[in-house]
Structure formats: C-alpha cells, structure tokens
Chain A
C-alpha cells in the first residue's frame, strides 16, 4: 500500500505542476496565430484535450520512472521478484472504466460539439450569404473569384493572385480543382479542406482580425496535399480588411476589370 500512496502523491503533484505549466503554454497560444472563429473552435478543442491528456501522460511516465527507481534490483541480485500477481481487479477495471469514459467524452466533447460549432458558423453564413468566394485550384496556382461582385481571378498590383476578405464576416468558399487533389489551408484561420477534381466543396471562414500575409505569414493560403513540382510554391497572399476598406477594394477591382476588358 505504501508504494501506492507515494506513487499517487507524486502523480498528483506532478500533474498539478504540469497543469499549471500548461496554463502559461495555453496562454501563449499553441497555434501561434489564431485570427478566425473556426480557428478558435479548433484551438478550444486542442486546449481542452491537452488538459485532459496530461494526467494520462504523467500517470504512465511517473509509473515508469517510479518503477525504475523503487523496484530496481540490486546489482548482485538475480532473484525473481517476491511479489508475483497476475491480476488486480481494482486496477484493471478502473483502467478499463477510465479509458472508456475518457474516450467517449472526447468523442462527444470536444469532438461532436466542436463539429456542431463549425456547422453553426456555416449555417449562419448560408442564412445571410455574406460573401462568396470561388476558389479554383490548379497546378500550381490558387485563383479567387467573387461572383457577387462580378470579379474574376483577382490579382494584386504585382499581378499575383490574392485573397481579400472582410473582417468579421463569414465567407463561404466554393472549392474546385482543375487537375489533381489540392488542400486549401489558411493556417491563421485554423481549418483546411481538400479540393478534389470533379467535386465541388465548401468551407467557411470568419476572419476576426485585420491582418495580411506580409505582417503574419500564417495568414496565407497554402496547398497542403502534395500536388507535384510546384507544391511548395502553391500559396497565395491573404489580406483581411475592415469592411470599409474591403468595399473600397471591391470598387477598385471593378474599375480595373472594367478598364481591362
């Protein structure tokens, strides 16, 4: 019994220390840059899981270290352990019970609840249809069109493809691929979706911070599914603008496309 109490005490103390250290880690933002509603959903799930798996991790680690330190044989001893037991129902069944409970909990929360939150953000956008962006992926380029404003394949002043989003609005992205499978990812917005040739897919992002790629490289479109020679280059700049500036940008692009055609 003595061993159980000592081990239990060490485990509790180390778990408490680890959870305390975790708080400062979580405060420093494990995802480095989280600038959208969906990214926050993912980060909340991540933080929750982190808090719950740490006691599991410390339990096994402390158990291993405790066994090494306390149950180590004398150098000279070749004898078998005097304590031989094949089963301990209390330990076994609490192990089984806790692992079933934890795993079912993870499925329900943050698993299904997180997905539910993602759904909700999408449903909101479908109801209000705020901004639509059509994304065309091809080897090795992202192209962005805004059908509401009649803008096709918008580019910045250097002629590079560029994704411009209004701050605080939920944007519906319609994803299509012209050739192979690509992956549409904006790291700072915390979600991605594969773009499959022959299929049309949607993903919703709600950026909450006015930011752009030059200030925050995680605010970029990045292809995540290997797609050939240009895969690492297959990225595009993103600019999230306050609503007024976004409107101005739309007007400017309309003028450009009118003069261009």
Chain B
C-alpha cells in the first residue's frame, strides 16, 4: 500500500518548526510509556495500600495503573506531539511516518484511520472467532475437554462476547467504512476533527488488549452482560472488562462526534440532505444513537467498577441487582441498532448498484432509520421478561413488536429495488442477499422472543443464542463482508478474486445456517446458555453444531486469505469498477491524499439509474444550490 502519497510527503512537511522524530517507533513508544505509567501508579497505590499479604498488585492498583497506562499509551503513540504540546502553546510537531508505518502510528488521515479500524476489527474478529472455535471444540462432548475448568470456559465465553460486541460489531463498519467513506461520499477532504479521529482509533487496541489480558487476573465469568451481583464475586479479571469496554465505548463516542459534525458541516456543494447517500444517513443515525447511549453505558461501567473497588454496593445486596440489568440493556438494546443500521446502509448502497435500478421508496428507509433511532430505547426490558411480572411485560412486548415495522421498511426498500431490475450477481450482491435472508430469520425468530409466554420458555437458552447470532453475524457480518468486497477495490486499488469470493460466500452461508439453525433446536431441547458441560442427551446435537461451526470458521479464514491475496497482488482496478454513482467512485482507487483533486459539485441524486430522472423525491432542496465558486461539475452525471 505504499502509494504515490508517500512520495508527496517527503519534503513537504520540512518547513514546520521543530520536528520531533520519536526515538522509538510510535507503537513501541506507546507501550513503553504506558508500561512505565502503569508500573509507577501501580506501585504508588500499593505503597499506600500496603496489602497485608504482601501482594504487588491489587484491584485498585491495577485500575489506577490502567488509567495511567491508557494515558501513557495515547501520548506515546503520538498524542504527546499532537495533543499535549499544543495545549502548552508549542507547535504541533508531528511527522507522520510514510509507507506502511503510517498504519502503526497516530494519523490524521481518515483513510489511514479507516484502514486501521478495519484491520483491527478484522483481527479482533479472528481472535474472538478462534475463542468461539475453542468453545465449540469443548462442547463436542458433554464434559470438559479443552478447557481445564468451568471458569476457564466461562471466561472464554465472556471474552468472545465482549470483543465481538464492543470491539467488532459496533466498530468494524462505523469505524472502518464510516471513517473511510463518509468524507468521500459527501465530497469532503477529511473529517472535521482529524486529531480526535486519530486518538479515537488508538483507544481500540488498548480496549481489546485489556479484555484479552483479563485471564491474567483470573478471567471473568459474567459473560458480556456483566450481571450483578455475580460481577462483584467474579475473579479480578472483571475489572479489565469494565476498563476495556469503557475505553472501547469512549472511542465510539469520539467517532460519533466526528461523524455527526462531518456530515453536518463538510458536505460538498449540492450534497443536500435529500441527496445524502443512504450509507451516510445510516452512519449519522448510528452516531446519534452512540452519542446518546455510550455515555450511559460508560457511566454504568464506572458504577460497576466502583462497586468492586470502593466498594460502593450500587448493585449488590445493599443496592439493586436489577438496576444493573436495566442500565445495561438501556444501552444494550440501542446497541443492536448501532450494529444493524450501518449494515442496512450497506444493503441500500450495494443493491441499486448491482440491480442497476434506482432505490425504491428511499423515503421509507429514512423513516425507518429515524423511527428505529427514536424507538430503540423503548424495548430494553424484553431482555428481562424473566425478571418481571406478567403485566410489566405488555408495554415492552408492544414496543418490541412495533419496532419490527420500521425494520421491515428496509425489506420494503430492498425488495422494491430488486423488482424488475437487472441484477448482476457479484460477490457483494450475493452477500447482501444472504444478509437479507439471514436477518429475516433473525427478525422472525425475534417475533417468538417478543412473545411473553414463548420468551419464558426459551429465554436464556440456545434459542436466544441462535437468534442474536442470526442478527449480528447473519445481518451485520454478512453486510460487512459485502462492504469489504464492494469497497476494498476502492481502498486498495486491487480487485478481489470473484470466483473465490463466491465460493467463500456460499461456504460461509452454509456453515452459518447449519451452525445457528441447529442452535434454535438445541435451545428448545433444553440447552441453556454459557455452560461448559451439559446433560448427555444433548451430545448428538452439540456435536453437529460444532462440526458446522468449524466449517464456518474455515470459510471465514479462507475469505481472509482471499482478501489478503487481493490486497497484495490483485488485478489493478480503475476508479469505478462497479459502475456505481456515489462520490467515492469519482476519484482514483485508492483515493489521493486530499480525496478529490477539487471538491466536486453535485447536481443530482446518487441513485438515478436509467430513465429514473435526476432528483430524488425526498427533501427536494428549498433553495437551488448555486455552484459557488463556479466550478465544472466533476460530480455525478446522469
């Protein structure tokens, strides 16, 4: 990926005053500074605490130390030159490395940051996926085999869930594609706050590593939901859960601020709200949800941490154990939409391109986005039907059923777009169609879970496990893969092997449906969640689920190989290999440093195919946009 931008760099930045070329590579310096900060603060706290048993760490010292480590890490990675020095009136003297080293350093280029997010999310996905493979290996027989203890297995479940939810599914599309493509799709040169963007990415590896390191302190047994008061009795690895998730949440929050500000302020002339691409709309709505609910979960996690450290007992016997569940799901359910909205954005970008047809009822997709955003916080207690009286279930049953109506609008738009179109069955299109099918199964199984009596029968069983994997893998991960096949040629300038792409897509589809389809049955057969051992009568079903899961794992691995090969030596592609109409395809692949040679002026909507006519019907701008200064419309042409 050493592109022509590398050459551009040299010489240009020499003029700015004192250049601090760090004596160590930034990642290494971050680790050293973080390590030193951790050690100093840890031993400082230990010196005050003087634990009677002479230990060198305590939960308090580690928590304080991790706070220091985070600051040391961020300063070391480049925050010292780009954030700290400017605060004291010194010039921001940061020389961004060139070539591949850009990706291992603080960067202010949204395209570098987008790739950093994508690679990190992919790596985390593979690590957490390997953990899942280990879990399935253990579950091939009714007794413990791979994991030595039940606690080890439960820690694996917790790490798998925490990473997949907080570091992959809410990060991959928003952080990766969002950072890379929001500015490109609205015709901007970068995000509004590039330095904020740079720092927000580097929170992710810290959060991921923190969670991965939790076994050092005994792991944690609560699963990704961290239910109290079990969390208070869990091994000390629990504090890494709070700190890790808080850090990851902080990153989502900063990204949300950036995406919202960028979409509001940096749209190129003519990119009116009515013409805004659906993916950007999805990013905007997702970011608004993040802005609302991430502070809520951050606060909840601080309360949870204080319950262990002080201890404050907010959620223990002296407090309200159920309050944790409500606070958790008040974020946890909007999170489902934080995960799915970006995926729908990808559906709605990919479908018109490969159906060669204008978006059908685009306005209804937008109505769906906004109604879902407004309603997503009204349904949280359907995760807690087993905790409430019958009458309390009714409002949440109602809202949960109702929210499937705006969700259905995505299908209305998708199917209407496909009707009488001219479909090109490329890999991204196939994956989007698979995502439509999988999410349909996820949504229809949600109808059962929304129903009070059925929920009480199958809640906390593998039926629920199957349901949410159908929405998150089946919906979001398939859409993410579709996005990779769709946009990687733009990002890398290299085409991906279509034959292998299709083979892998079919293999993933089969492996996925075999694995999680059977889990519905296992749940109804009495298999409960998060158990390392199970009654012998479930052995046959579990063996086949495990075998299917290994097929799925192999198919994912094979997909990654295909991506890697394409990245290194795929066929060169031009600016617009798919013949798409949004702005990111109007510039070179990969895009130059400043994205566009000159800011494009857009004169019509992005979904005008064939004789569809130019202007979309939503929000026709009240004032005609004057191209000022008068520039030739390098933007979209009909």
Q: Write the residues of chain A forming the contact surface with B, with a CB cutoff of 8 angstroms.
A: 3, 30-33, 38-39, 41-43, 45-46, 49-50, 53, 56-57, 60-61, 63-64, 67-68, 71-73, 77-88, 91-92, 95-96, 99-100, 103-104, 106-107, 110-112, 114-115, 117-119, 139, 179-181, 183, 185, 187-188, 190-194, 196-199, 217-218, 220, 222-233, 235
Contacts and interface: CB of A to CB of B under 8 A. Distances in A.
Contact of B530 (A91, A100, A196, A231): A231
Contact of B453 (A115, A185, A224, A227): A115
Contacts of A84: 357-358, 609-613
B234 A228 contact: yes
B447 A80 contact: no
Contact of A71 (B233, B420, B526, B609): B420
B457 A228 contact: no
B408 A81 contact: no
A73 B424 CA distance: 6
B43 to A, nearest CB: 31
Given A106-B450, A231-B530, A226 B230 contact: yes
Interface in B113-155: 149-151, 154
B314 interface: no
8 contacts: A31-B524, A63-B419, A71-B420, A73-B424, A86-B617, A92-B364, A111-B450, A224-B528
B234 A194 contact: no
Interface in B243-294: none
Interface in B494-520: none
Given A80-B356, A231-B150, A194 B386 contact: yes
Interface in B600-638: 609-613, 616-617
Nearest to A184: B386
Nearest to B153: A232
Contact of B415 (A32, A63, A104): A63
B524 A42 contact: no
Nearest to B390: A115
Contact of A67 (B317, B418, B452, B460): B418
Interface in B429-465: 433, 436-437, 440-441, 444, 447-448, 450-454, 456-457, 459-461
Given A82-B610, A222-B528, A217 B537 contact: yes
A226 B361 CA distance: 45
A164 B384 CA distance: 28
Contacts of A104: 401
B25 interface: no
A56 B420 CA distance: 21
A60 B440 contact: yes
A39 B453 CA distance: 9
B453 A41 contact: yes
Contacts of A43: 457
Contacts of A106: 401, 447, 450-451
Given A103-B402, A229-B149, A192 B456 contact: yes
Contacts of A96: 405, 412
A73 B454 CA distance: 44
Nearest to A63: B415
B440 A87 contact: no
B422 A198 contact: no
A191 B412 CA distance: 36
B322 interface: yes
A124 B456 CA distance: 20
B42 interface: no
A81 B187 CA distance: 27
Contacts of A194: 384, 386-387
B404 A99 contact: yes
A177 B340 CA distance: 37
B375 interface: no
Nearest to A234: B531
B71 interface: no
A64 to B, nearest CB: 6
Contact of B422 (A60, A79, A223): A79
Interface stretch (B392-400, B558-566, B582-590): B392-400
Nearest to A3: B420
A107 B411 CA distance: 22
Interface in B338-386: 355-362, 364, 384, 386
A38 to B, nearest CB: 8
The listed residue with most B CB atoms (<10 A of its CB), out of A41, A53, A194, is: A194
A71 B416 contact: no
Contacts of A71: 355, 418-423
A86 B233 contact: no
B448 A46 contact: yes
B229 interface: yes
A53 B229 contact: no
Contact of B356 (A60, A68, A79): A79
Nearest to B607: A86
Q: Considering the complex of A and B, which 4 residue pairs feature the smallest CB-CB distances, nearest first?
A: A187-B526, A80-B610, A114-B453, A84-B612
Given A64-B418, A71-B421, A100-B405, 18 more contacts: A3-B419, A32-B524, A45-B454, A63-B415, A67-B419, A80-B609, A84-B358, A84-B613, A91-B416, A92-B361, A110-B453, A114-B454, A115-B393, A115-B452, A115-B453, A191-B457, A198-B317, A226-B530
A90 B241 CA distance: 51
A50 B358 CA distance: 34
A64 B421 CA distance: 12
B361 A86 contact: yes
B52 interface: no
A114 B448 CA distance: 12
Contact of A227 (B230, B412, B579): B230
Contacts of B194: none
Interface stretch (B219-227, B300-308, B329-337): B219-227
B390 A118 contact: yes
B28 interface: no
